[in-house]
Amino acid sequence: MTQLSPSHPRYRSLRVRAGLAAALGKGLIVPEGLIAQGRGETFDYFLGERTIPSARRAERVAAAWIRAARHPVLSVNGNVAALAAAEIARLVRAYPPLGVEINLFHRSPARVRVVARTLRSAGIRRPYGLRPTGRIAGLDSDRARVDRRGIGSADLCLIPLEDGDRAEALRGAGRRIVSIDLNPLSRTSRAAHLPIVDELTRALTEIARALEGPARPSPRGPSARALLSDAQATMARNLLRVPRPVPRGTPRRPR
């Protein structure tokens, strides 16, 4: 493996990529997951690689919604486990009633075991979803399979990096949906009652931080439409910003 220097301007991004490549070798993620990560990273460039104020407000509202829920459950796929197992564990420590369920599009018994082992190593002892006992109506893929103790009986679902059809099906089944997705145009973001347009680990950390603090009355957050509109407007401004000129003498990148 190439040695990564902390002085590299893209050090964090390179570490994430190296971690995902290792996760692919272990069977934690699938090749399609690498494509999804690259797409998400592009939207994070547009966002400025930071948590914008409207997303921070949404994350605080999400914490209040999780506290108020009867049975909140966080859905975890391979990419989520590979990218954010530590952040998920912090979230569960901050609010132990939060359930965690494994749900995979490319599902096999071996891959479920790898995801479960990753979560347990991070401190999540009893994830749901190892042996699904129910289905979400309207879905034909393996993502329809759920655990009746988890998403099957949840009233609120926190769905990071989710497929749009499943987000829509969960909402249609009466779940309150909180999404984490860097693409404000995705079906997942548009299906959510509370769309959080932010990078996964930043969002989970902010929600955990809010849950670690004292309980407060649920803040009146902006509407889903307002959150998505603000994220799109931020990206548009960043795309239209005139870049600084490259100083003379700066060597060109080799072609």
Q: Where are the domains of the chain?
A: 53-235
Candidate from 8-17, 30-39, 139-148, 175-184 with smallest mean pLDDT: 8-17
What residues contact residue 217 under an 8 Å CB cut-off, 6+ apart? 64
Query: How do residues 111-167 score in pLDDT, each as one tens digit?
Result: 999 999 999 999 999 999 999 999 998 888 888 999 999 999 999 999 999 889 999
Q: Hunting for tokens 């060109």 — which residue is that?
A: 252
What element of type H or E holds 134? Answer: strand 134-135
Is pLDDT at 189 greater than 90 in this prediction?
yes
Rg of the Cα atoms in the chain: 19
Among 144, 102, 107, residue whose Cα is nearest residue 120: 102
Tell which CATH architecture fits domain 53-235: 3-Layer(aba) Sandwich (3.40)
**How many whole angstroms separate alpha carbon 20 and alpha carbon 37?**
9
Candidate from 61-70, 185-194, 210-219 with smallest mean pLDDT: 210-219
Are residues 218 and 61 in contact, defined by beta-carbon separation less than 8 angstroms?
yes
pLDDT tier at 169 (50, 70, 90 boundaries)?
A: very high
Per-residue pLDDT at 38: 77
Q: Tell me phi and psi for residue 107, to 5 degrees.
A: -100, 135
255 burial type by CB count under 10 A (0-12 exposed, 13-18 middle, 19+ buried):
exposed
